[in-house]
Amino acid sequence: MTITKGETMVVTVDRLDEKGSGESINWRENEFGNPKKLKLTIPQTLPGEKVRVHVDQPERRRRKAMVEEVLEANSERTAPPCPHFEKCGGCVWQHWEYSGQLKQKTNHVKHAVEAQGFNPDLVLDTIGMNQPWRYRNKMEFTFAQDGSLGLHEQGNFRKIISLETCLIAGEEMVEAAMEVAEWVRAHQLRGYNKDLHEGLLRHLMVRQSFVTGEIMLALFATEAPEGPLNDAAKDLVKRIGEKFPQVKSLLWLENTDWADRTQSEKNHILAGRDFIYDEMAGYRFRLWFDTFFQTNPTQAQKLVELAIELGQPKETEKMIDLFCGVGTFSLPFASRVGELAGIEIVESSIESAKRNAEDNGISNTSFLAKDARKGIDQVLESFGNPELLLLDPPRSGAGGKVMRKIGRSKPERVVYVSCNPDTFATDIKELEAFGYQLKVVQPVDLFPHTVHVECVALLETQDS
């Protein structure tokens, strides 16, 4: 069979790619009768399924194909409950029973550690959620050019899917966001055009504490809420104040930068304060619009508990918390060790960590705003070698240089909290040369219906 311009094909899904879409490898004949490999990426399919797909330009080696019909379904396929699932990029696995998602995440971690020579049996089954919906305490919505509010289309950051609901966000958060969307329509405000760099509204950030109930609404715009926008801003304050008394922070944040990020050049507090209070593991935190805080508080609590259980902190010990952020792990551990030093490159996070420690009556901590590699050297010089070290790096991992510095500092126990199994496995490989052994890896699902999985691991020196 020769390849033609655009055709319908029946293929079998061989596996999933790193973004959670199905992959199908097919061998075809080109116009000269020679075998040619065609690799199809097929969103919203599961391993083993036989599907009919339409392929544009199948003469190319890699193509994205859209499902026309599922001919033979995976036994774990289920009906997605969200009306936006087929287009919205917020979730990729709503069509997969939750038990299947968890098995996939466990296997991902096992494969990652095995690829680096570790025993995959050290990886435990992923800890899932009893209720894997409404779990996010923070969402960043985007305005389309016509002012409608939603999330990016799957695989297309140029198109915004207007939303009526979102089943992974807290219900009150969604209701508040929809009220903002109604306010935009009432005043006929325009969204931002990324290509022309014009328009008013860019993003809406909503975050809520599931403990205190406090909500923050942060509107990112290219102009100040003054002049022609003054009446609209006052109306927004009135609408939110009447319907959502739990909104304790209503912000208008100016952002004229070309970069499409939720950042601010000038902050305007329309109502309330510029932060909200949240709690985790019995400790209170102040959260600003740019504060990094775990977005699934239920599972983040489990991460903290697991880290403490594995780390076995003692009152006589010194501890370093690397990539400490605002002190999510620092505060619970500080109450259990003699001294704790936290290191984080983001200065605003370090200021928050200091304030959070003070708010919680914790006085045995010191926090340093420095990059991890240089920060370790500075802390070791003044602090001495720790018995316990915890690190919670970004998705890119800590990197070989940082891991070797950790190895040379000789903590008895290393607790690694990871949001990327692949970089985690590469990082801990560096510690083998310093006599560390991997003892256990516990995956935890913080993002149901997505490919992401977190894990907490313990490494010890052989003579510990």
Q: In a 3-state reduction of DSSP, which class is residue 287? A: strand
Tally helices (H) and strands (E) across the chain.
9, 23
CA distance 286 to 30: 61
Listed residue (52, 90, 87, 91) closest to 72, CA to CA: 52
Q: Count how many Cα atoms sit within 13 Å of the Cα of residue 355 in the half-sphere of its side chain.
A: 15
Of 82, 88, 419, 455, which one is the catalytic site residue?
419
Task: Give the list of residues 6+ apart from residue 150 with CB closer than 8 angstroms, or none.
Answer: 84, 88, 141, 142, 144, 160, 161, 162, 163
- Which residues partner with 414 through β-bridges? 389, 459
CA distance 337 to 447: 31
Based on the residue annotation, tell me whether 91 is a catalytic residue of this protein. no
Listed residue (438, 427, 378, 434) closest to 411, CA to CA: 434
CA distance 241 to 18: 43
Task: Give the list of residues 6+ apart from residue 35 with CB closer than 8 angstroms, or none.
Answer: 27, 28, 29
**What are 197's two structure tokens?**
């760099």
Contacts within 8 Å (CB) and 24+ apart, 277-282: 277/209, 277/212, 277/214, 277/248, 278/137, 278/209, 278/211, 278/212, 278/214, 279/209, 279/211, 279/212, 280/211, 280/304, 280/328, 281/305, 281/331, 281/332, 282/332
- Pairing label, strands 388-391, 413-418: parallel
Residues marked as catalytic: 419
